[in-house]
Structure formats: structure tokens, C-alpha cells
Homo-oligomer: A and B are copies of this chain.
Amino acid sequence: MSAEIRVQEAAFDPGAELSAFTPRAAAAGAGAMVSFTGLVRDLPGAGGLSRMVIEHYPGMTEKALEKIAAEAADRWPLGPVLILHRFGALTGQEPIMMVATASAHRVAAFEAAEFLMDYLKSRAPFWKKEETGDGTRWVAARSEDEDALGRWR
């Protein structure tokens, strides 16, 4: 397993990332690749989302993501792993983050991607703030996200 971890302010194109990931997965003998991409939802209706600002904890963020990737590699036989997360100001419909996994078979690639997402949601120090026509608010953590970790214990 070789993990590529990137925490960046710049926008990215999920397709370009998958194009770069594919030959690395293939060269590692993978038969299955899974990618997950999170997008800023452009909620319709009054006071729709106009902007999202993501704060993070430089230093701890990278350590937390490395740890999550290493734990995934302990549980499943993985080829390359990508974890990419933006911070700063984002507008509607922009990609927020992405993970990609590769393995010999599909179940391992799917499970590892879900594991990375579940841990990233509740254990990596990112905080989202939404700005709408009605004002700004910090996104509240959802108890379902904490509960999702139960699957992996």
C-alpha cells in the first residue's frame, strides 16, 4: 500500500485524479478500484447555500489521515490509496474531497473506501461552515456518522 494524502486549498477535478490513480492501481495488480467524491450540495430554495468554508487543523489533519489510511491497509490487501481534502472557501457543486482505493477484488476495494470515509467523517479534524442567504452556521456532526464507526469494531 502506498498512500497519497493531500490537504489543499486549491480546487481539483475528481476525473483527473482518477486518471492519475488508474495506472498506479493497475501496476499494483489491482482488479478493482473504488472512488468516493464529496460535493458541495447546492441546496435549492430560499437562502440556498452560497458558500462553504472548511477549517482544519494543520499538522493533525495529515497525521489523522495517514493513520486512517494505514489502518485500512492493515485490514484489506490494498494497492494505492488516495485521500484528498480541500480547506478554505468552496462554492456550490465544487468537489470537497475524494478517496480512492484499489485491490485485487471488489469487496475489499468497496469496504476500504467506506472505512476511509467513515473514519474521515468523524476522526479527521475538518469543520464545515455553510453560508446561506439566511446567515452562516457550523455544520453539526450527525450521530449516524459516529454510529457508522461501529461497523468496523
Contacts and interface: CB of A to CB of B under 8 A. Distances in A.
How many copies are assembled?
2
B36 A33 contact: yes
Contact of A32 (B20, B37, B107, B148): B37
Interface in A1-25: 13-23, 25
A104 B43 CA distance: 10
A88 interface: no
A39 B15 contact: no
Interface stretch (A61-69, A70-78, A110-118, A129-137): A110-118
Nearest to A43: B29
A93 B39 contact: no
12 contacts: A14-B18, A15-B18, A26-B92, A29-B41, A31-B39, A31-B40, A32-B39, A34-B34, A34-B35, A110-B110, A110-B113, A110-B117
